[in-house]
Structure 1
Amino acid sequence: LELIFCDLELVEKRLERMEQGAKRGKKPDEAEKRLLLKFKDALERETALRDIEFNIEEQKAMRTLQFLSTKPEIVVINLRENDLNTEKAERLQKDVQEYLKDRETSVITLCGKMEMEIAQLLAEEARAFLDDLKIKEPALNKLIRLSYNLLSLISFFTVGEDEVKAWTIKQGMEALKAAGKIHSDIERGFIRAEVIGFNEFIDSGASMAKAKEKGLLRLEGKNYIVKDGDIINFRFNI
């Protein structure tokens, strides 16, 4: 509700400025006013703007306003450790999903106490802890992936002599624009992108030399659509 109230305050202030401008003789934008009143009506009914249908023109107008309640929503159910991976947990998640079926909302379950304990363990200890509980991975990983999917985000990697770095971009971004996320000079002087998928890299023993021997490292042009997990070396010249 806090996000809805923040958006409502934004709309009311904008309508107030519009009204003050009209008193000074400035003619208001009637299309914008109608749209703001539509927002106001929904928000006063405590309805998030993500749950309202808008046409293409209305969606374009909304982008400049940066509403908070248009953002995707995730409901996290915090369970007791004993309830993880049980019929009770599945039933609770289904009940919440059914309750929220008319909203653009995703639901995930986890045990906050357990996640905190896992985060404090070394990697090997954490793996053993999860294996004992027959859990494939921490719920935090699932939550991160879900968040990325809802926001239409992916990550690609660059590898240097002393560091590996992940870069977050929008799904569907071309290699040229992805290069610009690292540095504008790389985008401006883009020549080619050397690309290998993460799984291909791991299957090659996590060795770039072996990947090259197998012919798995490929050259892509500026229009290549970057995929999640791609490892990329950008060739450029300025």
Structure 2
Amino acid sequence: MYRRLVLKLSGQSIAGSAQFGFNSDSLTHLAREVIAARDTGVQVAVVVGGGNVFRGNRSEDWGIDRVEADNIGMLGTVINAVLLRGRLAAMGEEDVRLMTAIPINNLAEPYIRLRALRHLEKGSIVLLGCGNGQPFTTTDYPAVQRAIELGADALLVAKNGTDGVYDADPNKVAGAQRFDRLTYQQVIDKGLGVMDQSAFILARDHRLPLHVFDIDRQGAAAAISSGEHIGTVIS
């Protein structure tokens, strides 16, 4: 059983079956998964993506600078985090802390590592928004970065509709095989798209275990928190 975990949620997980926007049922499901994981006794921090609001890599489509586009994406993560905090509160969770890499004092606390650690040690659910506050990175990188900074035992990489890492896209290739376990080097050698490459290399260099699993599977996060093998483990 783990002591402390970071859960990476994509913006798409909040959008549900749609590519963009918000889905109330999906938000409720995510809140339940976070609560269930924390209720196993593990300390939980959540890095929230913002792709359902805006993606920085679409800057050319909108005719704006990439830095500005990434700034919009970071604000999108805050929208999602506030939504998740609100749903957690509505479900009875009173001690939820939202911390952002960019100061937004009326909505959240600034991310300070030692303060985040104190919140976790007291049993608070900690939501982390704005990525790491810098452009040109996906939220994969700050998810790994925060997991390392906070001394997490593992990073739970939540996917939507995919229950692990496959040797080919299971939605396109019939008979694609799922891996139960992989080493970091195997992922690199096989060219498997687990996450942003820079984020994956950071995880490898710091030997941060990755659990890739389907967030749509009810109770999956809690089961992993309790030591059950679900999805694909990379270590």
* Same fold, judged at TM 0.5 (above): no
Q: Greater share of helix residues, 1 or 2?
A: 1
